[in-house]
Amino acid sequence: MSLLAVEDLAIHFGGVKAVDGVSFEVEAGEVFAIIGPNGAGKSTIFNLISRLYEPTRGRIHFDGADITALKAHQIAPLGIARTFQNIELFDHSTVLDNLLMGRHIHRRTNFVQDILFLPKVRREEREHRRRVEEVIAFLELEHYRGKHIAGLPYGVRKVVEIGRALALGPKLILLDEPASGLSVEESQDVAFWIEDMRRDMGLTVLMVEHDMGLVTQVSDRVLAVANGRPLALGTAAEVQADPEVQAAYLGTGDAA
């Protein structure tokens, strides 16, 4: 039984078929990459899985349950965390607070207990903090712990966003272009982290990425999409060798 199964997923914005009949299955413990030219519908697939968009048709199953009818905020508690292509961090908070916000689904106190700051709240906070500190150590963010997001360089923000998703303690992590805008060294770090997430944390990774070097290095299987339709599915080498994929990226030979 696969961890995530997407069946015939489609979303149409008016006449634009952003995603049109995409199906794939992600096995537990796998690194699965979605590639495709700009506007292919990769991020839209992510937004459909996060339930930020309402699909026109198709179903999404996670861990054996149909999640197509759930609301966006009901997705994270199932164990699906994500990052955003354009970084959606809480700019006016510190790195630490951003990571702590990732622990929201694990809160066991209500607002009245919070206002009175009962001993239980402190115990919970210590536990959240301990888990967040593990993420900080993993991503080597110690230096930035108390810094506000607004003043951080782009590369660090990307890492903090991955950290926030990890702080959630997910089973499946959706990474939307984790290496875009990063230097070669930083992309290399991301590659190692993805490896470690899979190996040490037992995470399943679904990512959208343009950097073919990174995709080849870390992913088990690759799905190529173009114009909202699936083109090819297989290992990175197989997909890259696919003539349709090459045509989608470079244009067809005959047209030129």
Residues that bind other proteins in the complex, under the rule CB under 8 A: 47, 50, 52, 71-77, 81-82, 84, 86-93, 96-97, 100-105, 107, 109-111, 114-117, 121-122, 124-126, 128-130, 133, 150-151, 154, 157, 164, 168, 181
C-beta closer to other proteins: residue 154 or 192: 154
Q: How far is CA 54 from the centre of its chain?
A: 18
Among 170, 172, 135, 164, CA closest to 5: 172
Q: Beta strands 65-66 and 229-234: pairing type?
A: unpaired
CB of 194 to other proteins, least distance (A): 19
CB of 101 to other proteins, least distance (A): 5
C-beta closer to other proteins: residue 55 or 230: 55
CB of 111 to other proteins, least distance (A): 4
C-beta closer to other proteins: residue 62 or 84: 84
Report the C-alpha gap between 32 and 208 in whole angstroms. 9
C-beta closer to other proteins: residue 73 or 199: 73
C-beta closer to other proteins: residue 113 or 188: 113
Helices and strands counted in the chain (H then E): 9, 10
Q: Answer left, alpha or beta for residue 232, where phi above 0 means left and psi between -120 and 50 means alpha.
A: beta
CB of 117 to other proteins, least distance (A): 4
State how far the alpha carbon of 240 is from the alpha carbons of 16, 23, 70, 74, in Å.
Answer: 27, 19, 35, 36
CB of 243 to other proteins, least distance (A): 32
Report the C-alpha gap between 49 and 42 in whole angstroms. 11
Report the C-alpha gap between 160 and 89 in whole angstroms. 8
CB of 141 to other proteins, least distance (A): 15
The kind and range of the H/E element at 157 are: helix 154-167
Report the C-alpha gap between 39 and 150 in whole angstroms. 29
C-beta closer to other proteins: residue 4 or 96: 96
In this structure, what token pair is assigned to residue 177? Answer: 């272009």
